[in-house]
Chain A
């Protein structure tokens, strides 16, 4: 069974810092990996989707990389802002298993950016 781990569980940084969130997964047989943002009491907002054949994806100040062979992904946030404060979740879509399209989630990294 796929296990997804996110480190750190919580992170508090001053505004303007560049930061890295880590995600690791146990089974490298994946179709893709998706990063989400979740604000308190809200649903998930998709940030980036990286296919297994890709090494990275960028959207604005966000850059996500994928090293499938080592089972790792990182989400890089440049010039962090207080509005970036949220919980960030990564999820993988495995090739193995019977449930087409299901995702396996990590527990998330709770990010606080203070002014």
Chain B
């Protein structure tokens, strides 16, 4: 089955702790994205990567970090510097062509204890 997987589905973080959210795709897509979703708000872009070993900040990158060492993987680390990390995190991918669809994973819900 082709698609995007995210793990874990639920994640709990203590104050001051860094956590890493996993995103894997087997669609052979070049571009990958991380969005954050808060209740009653639209999705906001955190980071994106158009190609392996390259990534750029989105609208709300402060307190987050990413890596793109493999085409199929784009993990997101939520650091202790992120003041309000409780949210639903969605990973997406696309083939980089501007005319084509973007596909989303099932999401990870992060809660700060």
Report A's interface with B, CB cutoff 8 A: 4, 31-32, 34, 36, 41-46, 49, 51, 89, 91, 93, 98-108
Interchain CA distance A46-B101 in the complex, whole Å: 8
User: Is chain A's interface secondary structure helix, strand, loop, or mixed overall?
Assistant: strand
Interchain CA distance A34-B99 in the complex, whole Å: 11
Q: Which of B40, B103, B107 contacts A46 (CB 8 A)?
A: B103
Are A101 and B104 within 8 A (Cβ)?
no
Report B's interface with A, CB cutoff 8 A: 4, 6, 31, 33, 35, 40-43, 45, 48, 50, 56, 58, 88, 90, 92, 94, 96, 98-107, 109
| Closest residue on chain B to residue A98 by CB atoms | B56
Are B102 and A46 within 8 A (Cβ)?
yes
Decide: A101 near B41, CB < 8 A? Known: A41-B109, A42-B107.
Answer: no
Are B48 and A99 within 8 A (Cβ)?
yes
